[in-house]
Structure 1
Amino acid sequence: MKKNYSFYQKTEEVYFSTEFAFPIAVIVMASIITYGLLYFFGIALAVIFNVIISFIGSFYFYYFGKSSTAITLDFLIRVALVSVFFLFMDYGVFALVKYQKTDVFNKMYFYLWLAIILGIPLLYYIFQYSRYYYKETKNAGTYIKIYLTVHHDRELLTVIDTIQFVNTVKRTMSDIKLEKPDCFYSDAELKKMDDNSVRNYLGKDAFRGLMHLPFDADVLFISWYSIIEDKYYDIEVPFPFEKMVIEQEKYPTNVSEVLRGKKSKPLNLHIHANGGIRIFNVDGVLIDLPESIPTVISEEERNKKIEIYRDLQDYYRTPKAFEELIEKIKSSNGIEERFLIQNKKFNWSMHISGLKGNNYLDVFDVSFSKYKTEIAELDMPEFRFLPKEIGIVYRGNYLYDWLNLYINTQEIYHCIQEIESGNECSPVSFELVFEDLTETGLKFTIRSGDKFVMFNNWKINIRNDRKQDMTDHLLHIDEDQQKRALYKEAWDLVASKQYDQAQEKCDTIKAIDPGYGFAYFLEVRLLWYKEGFEACYTKQDYFIAKTQHEPAALAHMYNNYGCLYDLELKYDQSLSYFEKAILANPKDGMYVCNLAEIYCKLNRPKKAFEAAEKSKKLGHESPTLHAILESKGLRYL
């Protein structure tokens, strides 16, 4: 199958690297020394120097790591060639010295030498880059990028020989490189491992990675040996390339579309018992082969594959232990049950309570599909594959994927069978109650009609850093809502002139968040109403400092003092504070309208009208603004 077939070969981009720095530095240093020798001692000594350094350099590289240092003809030829190279490179130095001493300069020879020195590396780079561009363009037009995941039940004890997608017309094939199967850990070994290691082992795929699939691939070749079944399968299946959705690769953006090539959605390949294979992606199933006829192999080949697999084991390395493992797997009926669960949909819903804030779910089911869903969407019964992993993601300043729930789907299947009592169509409800957000704070109930069972075969993994970020964000939201409610209540009290009660609300806000700028704006207004202008002026620096970090509150504070000076007919001071308010929050048209009013009072109608027009563009509306606009800056309310 592989004979005379080509596959994707990665190319390396051509660029100038620091690897060239050392030889260039050596050549430059040698030329500088040669220049001194030529200038002061003449050409003979310069030639001897170049021969010596050629000999030393060649000796080091030629005899490095060798036990014998006998001078050979091959070595002498190498020294001669290196010497000629150095002498040629030194021609420019020779031309310079000759010009300095004789004032004679042969332009033709020098330009020819310079063209060779600069031209050969440039031509070499152009050639290498052209070859790279050609190969990349050819690859992009011949192959598409696809992530492939290959999975089989670990208890099948499978040794995969070949997986190749082939275009038999153009004789091209994918570049899937399979590794040896993983060790099969015993129950005793699994108990010694931590939960994450066990999950990674049980969920590990036979292959996962990027492959390059030939355009218009028409055949899938796949072969494997199942030790549990004692059967070898060598399958050739038509591949429906036309069902795949091909897209232009978008990244990296600094590379042309031609070199980026095309891509398609990730493929999943599942190998089942009886020679069954299933290939699918999110768009649908491409190949669904329930079973295949095994291929006869020799006893020698069979034993060799078993030996390869057994040699990878620790616990089951000996023939006796390995035979016991095979008998144990065959009698457990686990392969058949997991196959049933992976290919059967159940009528279930899920109700989750005890979570705070806006969360959604990342669900990973037994059919190897992963999808996002709102919690409320799972409240309705629907025929779905059973979930085996549920991630809870909190929506905050960013997405906090803070909790993962891992479910033993075989055990949940047994529970469903127990409470359904043979009625497979009756809906099943999974009720998850988080009594607290800890690894033990979950109650998981499976309910069907009036029957229920407590389900305990699950594990929780909590990312404490993300959980803390979520908790902090929720606390911030609670505090913010509390502050806003108190702030509104305080202003309602101000409106009814209950200033002391409003001050109590203000003090409560400051106790919750001493940095809340609008609390100080409320406080300065209360000070104004209770004690007058002078009390506000006295604490002006204090109030401005307390709102400096919050532009919206600072703008309110400046506007407040602008209004105070306006009421005292100190228009120049008022103008200054309204300008500061605009600088702090330039998008609020109210401050610009106040500025326009002050310009009117200062008898500067042109400025007043310009400011009023700007205020209107910012979306502000008020009777004062309309009066200024109608009067062209001459009148205000």
Structure 2
Amino acid sequence: MKRYKLYKKVKPVYCNFEELLANIVLPLVIASYISYPILYFFGTQSAIIFNVFLSLSANYFHKGLKSYLPIFNNNDLGFRPSLSWFCSFIIIFIVLLIADFGFYLLVLYQKKNEFNIFHFYSWLGILFGLPLLYYTLKLGQYYFVKKYQDLEFINIVLAVNYDLNLFLAINNIQFVNTANRKSSDIKITNNIRSYSQKEFMAVKTKSRHYYINKEGFREMVQIPFNADTVLLSWFSYVENKYYEIEIPFPFKKFIEEQQKCSIDKFKVFRGRETKPLYLHLYLNGGFKFFYKDIILIDSPENKEGEINEEEKKMKFGMIY
């Protein structure tokens, strides 16, 4: 199977200040105010022991805190549960120590009349500056990646419709630039309900026509610039056939319909409304791509693709 550089959607940097206040700031303030009398009356060692206990408790009981440490909950990174738990404990413990350091400076001033201005401003810089720096870097990273993607991919609505006599399940729609291996990553989230062939034929005619006429997919997708190939695969329940097609995609013609006499990728499809790109699927593996009433691809018939019974059952729920 060929490997492509799939489009990766970047999520905007989002900070819910109410959740941040409830899950991080308020518990941290309460913990620090409890640590203050411990520091004053029992000393630094007792405060450290208290923070260890508090870190263990927060790591175990404070479930809302886990959402702010998503890296350790990402199974793709291969973190073991024990390692994830230990790392999150260390982070919580360090944050508590940093917060308590301000009260430690206050205790020194109250008991020994000592005040180190450098330590005080360093503490303020770490406590407030690091979170702000982290947020700024994440925001900058988001805009950098988004800018890059705007120059490398086209954002357009893709609408998929079925022939009136066809009942199917889409497996894959993929636009590929074979030169640089960039590819769309279209998630078929609105696929129509799957039936076995026997179940579908047993469905009442009215219900059957409802599903047949239902638009299978309509979402914003990303097509790489200069995409020269489109990959399609779907299963037709009515025909009991699986189709898998690879066909050239006329990107230049597609762009010219959007902006006549120009294929400047820095201007096309940015900051303006565009009409959907339509894909219509027919019997016998036929399909059409058209945009603004201009047919881009017209393939009336295609050969059946190969698929074994196990894959058919797993992907399309075929039961005989």
Measured after TM superposition, the shift of residue 82 of structure 1 is: 4.7
Deviations 1:253-283 (CA, angstroms, capped at 9, x unpaired): xxxx999667642111112233322111224
State the secondary structure of the residue aligned to 2:204. helix
* Counterpart residue number, 1:167: 177
Task: Give the AA of the match of 2:6.
Answer: F
Match of 1:297 among 278, 301, 306: 306
Q: Is the 8 A contact 2:226 2:251 kept in 1?
A: yes
On the 8 A contact 2:12/2:142 being kept in 1, the answer is: yes
Are 2:108 and 1:98 aligned?
yes
The answer as to whether partners of 2:244 and 2:305 remain within 8 angstroms in 1 is: no
Query: Where does residue 151 of structure 1 map in the other structure?
Result: 161
Q: Supply the AA of the counterpart residue of 2:299.
A: L
CA apart distance, 1:211 = 1.4
Q: CA deviation at 1:167?
A: 1.4
Of 138, 142, 145, 2:152 maps to 142
2: CA distance, partners of 1:73 / 1:109: 33
Paired residue type of 1:30: A
Change (3 A) 1:45 1:273: closer
Q: 1:204: Cα distance to partner?
A: 0.4
CA distance, structure 1, for counterparts of residue 245 and residue 273 of structure 2: 26
Give the corresponding residue for 1:33: 34
Aligned to 1:11: 10
**Cα distance 1:200–1:138, how it changes in 2: closer, same or farther (>3 A)?**
farther
CA contact (8 A) 1:141 1:261 kept: no
Report 1:401-420 matches (<5 A): none
Report matched runs for 1:389-468 at 5 Å.
none
Q: TM-score, normalised by structure 1?
A: 0.39
- SS of 2:144's equivalent in the other structure is helix
Match for 1:86 among 74, 79, 96? Answer: 96
Matches within 5 A, 1:90-129: 90-129=100-139
- 1:274 counterpart (284, 291, 312): 284
1:315-361 deviations in Å (ceiling 9; x for gaps)? xx6x4xxxxxxxxxxxxxxxxxxxxxxxxxxxxxxxxxxxxxxxxxx
- Alpha-carbon distance, 1:97 to partner: 2.6
Distance 2:161 2:315 in 1: 19
1:189 alignment partner in structure 2: 204
Q: Closer, same or farther in 2 for the Cα pair 1:20/1:275, shift >3 Å?
A: same
The SS at the match of 2:58 is helix
Kept in 1: contact 2:192–2:214 (CA 8 A): no
CA contact (8 A) 1:140 1:259 kept: no
User: 1:44 offset after TM fit, Å?
Assistant: 4.9
Question: Partner letter of residue 12 of structure 1?
Answer: K
Q: How does 1:236-247 map to 2 (within 5 A)?
A: 236-244=246-254, 245-246=257-258
Structure 2 counterpart of 1:57, which letter? A
Contact 1:144 1:263 in 2 (8 A): no
**Mapped contact 1:145–1:264 kept (Cα < 8 A):** no
Structure showing greater radius of gyration is 1
Structure 1 residue 104: Cα displacement: 2.2
- Secondary structure, aligned partner of 1:90: helix
Residues 192, 211 of structure 2: 8 Å contact kept:
no
Counterpart of 2:20 in structure 1 is 20
Secondary structure in 2 matching 1:11: coil
Identity of aligned residues (%): 38
Distance 1:185 1:164 in 2: 28
Q: CA deviation at 1:160?
A: 3.6
Code of the residue aligned with 2:312 in structure 1: it is: K
Matching of residues 30-69 of structure 1 within 5 Å: 30-40=31-41, 42-60=43-61
**Contact 2:177–2:225, Cα closer than 8 Å, also in 1:** yes
Q: Which has the higher contact order (CA 8 A, sep 6+)?
A: 2
1:241, 1:12 → 2: CA distance? 27
C-alpha RMSD of matched pairs (Å): 3.8
Q: Is the Cα–Cα contact under 8 Å of residues 6 and 182 in structure 2 kept in the other structure?
A: yes
Superposition deviation, residue 105 in structure 1: 1.0
SS of 1:146 mapped into structure 2: strand
* 1:281-313 residue CA offsets vs partner (Å, 9 max, x unmatched): 224111122333x15636xx26853796564xx
TM-score, normalised with respect to structure 2: 0.73
Is the CA contact 1:181–1:309 (under 8 Å) kept in the aligned structure 2?
A: no
Q: Are the counterparts in 1 of residues 235 and 316 from structure 2 also a CA contact under 8 Å?
A: no
Q: CA deviation at 1:205?
A: 2.3
In the alignment, the residues of structure 1 paired with residue 134 and residue 271 of structure 2 have an alpha-carbon distance, to the nearest angstrom, of 26
Residues 61 and 229 of structure 1, relative CA distance in 2, 3 Å threshold: closer
Note closer, same or farther for the CA distance 1:97–1:282 as it changes in structure 2 (3 Å cut).
Answer: same
State the Cα distance separating 1:34 from its structure 2 match: 2.2
Farther-moved stretch of structure 1 (282-291 vs 77-86):
77-86
> How many residue pairs end up in the alignment?
286
Q: Structure 2 CA distance, aligned partners of 1:145 and 1:75? A: 40
CA shift, 1:28, in A, is 1.0
1:213–1:262 distance in 2 versus 1, CA, 3 Å: farther
Q: Which residue of 2 aligns with 1:350?
A: none
Q: CA deviation at 1:78?
A: 7.3
What is the alpha-carbon distance in structure 2 between the residues aligned to residue 290 and residue 11 of structure 1?
A: 37
Name stretches of at least 5 consecutive residues in structure 1 with no aligned partner: 63-71, 248-256, 312-316, 320-637
Alpha-carbon contact 1:222-1:236 (below 8 Å) kept: yes
Closer, same or farther in 2 for the Cα pair 1:104/1:128, shift >3 Å? same
